Amino acid sequence: MSSITELLDRWKRGDRSVEDALATDIYPVLRELARAQVRRHGNALTLRATELANEAYERLHVQQGVNWQNRAHFHAIAATLMRRVVVDYLRERQAEKRGGDQLFIALDDMQQRETPSQGDHVDWLAVDQALTEFAQAAPDAARVVELRLFSGLTKEEIAEVCGSSRATVGRQWRFARAWLAERLDVVPGDEEPG
């Protein structure tokens, strides 16, 4: 990941010679994130992993002004981009329905105890709106949610990316789940053991 950060920094400074290497290093990371999103959403998200990865890469490509700091910064921006692509796609699909039923996405990869339970589906547009509001009050906890839901990282990986302990990530995750469950008017699942 340090090579990605270095390549991003050189690219930011205008070195166009690194674009091929950057694409070679970053695209597989984005593709894996996209695959996880598509698997998580099942058939409800008709966007393919390749399309999602391509759109995220295009959006990342225009982020040239970002002062790339480290692996955590890259993952945070990648998760945010994935979130934006998915939400924009869902908004577009919902607009096409012209007031029909809202589009819901199955969360079949997530364990029930890790997400608010609302049957087997989550309204991602409502989650996005609530998460945006939550980020104003608790940005670190909101980042944990975004990394968990939109990059598919485990709590251990999130702790590493954020430079915090697994216990801190666990507390932030539980706090965020409770806040989002109340905001979205759903009943949170059982607490995790330990």
Q: For 121-172, what is each residue's pLDDT tens digit?
A: 567 788 888 999 999 999 999 989 988 887 777 888 888 888 899 999 999 9
At 174 the pLDDT is 93
Question: Regarding beta strands 187-188 and 121-122, do their DSSP bridges make them parallel or antiparallel, or are they unpaired?
Answer: unpaired
175 vs 91: CA distance, rounded Å: 27
158 vs 161: CA distance, rounded Å: 5
Cα diameter, the chain: 52
pTM beyond 0.75: the answer is no
The single-letter DSSP state of residue 120 is: B
Q: For 103-127, what is each residue's pLDDT tens digit?
A: 443 333 344 334 333 334 567 788 8
